[in-house]
Amino acid sequence: MAYAFPVWSGPLGLALVAGFTSGALAQEPAVDDIAVAVREAGHACTDPRDAARDEARSQPDEAAWTIHCDEGAYSIKFMGDTGAEVEPLP
């Protein structure tokens, strides 16, 4: 008699679960995605680097980030469906 095991019981299942927990559940925007938000707000951002989440400005439904580009540093706050609020930093 053959037993049917759920797909998560073998090596493939472990890989799927590992992939789910490492990326899909806790998605963080890539540096390039944050740079796109800066550009869409009308600011130049070439060679984006050093994007870091700003925990002090973040709220449960609003993620705040700081990014450094060749033209300067920006503070970005993603506010759900309304887009991003972008402020140049001194």
Question: Tell me, what's the pLDDT at 28?
Answer: 73
Residue 72 belongs to a domain: yes
20 located within any domain: no
User: How many domains does the chain divide into?
Assistant: 1
Classify residue 75: in a domain, yes or no.
yes
Q: Does residue 52 form part of some domain?
A: yes
pLDDT tens for each residue of 14-69: 343 344 344 444 567 899 999 999 999 999 999 999 999 999 999 988 999 999 99
Strands (E), the chain: 49-53, 63-69, 72-78, 84-88
Give the C-alpha separation, 90 to 63, whole Å: 21
For 45, the domain range is 29-88
Maximum CA pair distance of the chain? 71
Q: Is residue 19 part of a domain?
A: no
Residue 61 covered by a domain: yes
Residue 4 domain-assigned (yes or no): no
In a domain, 57, yes or no: yes
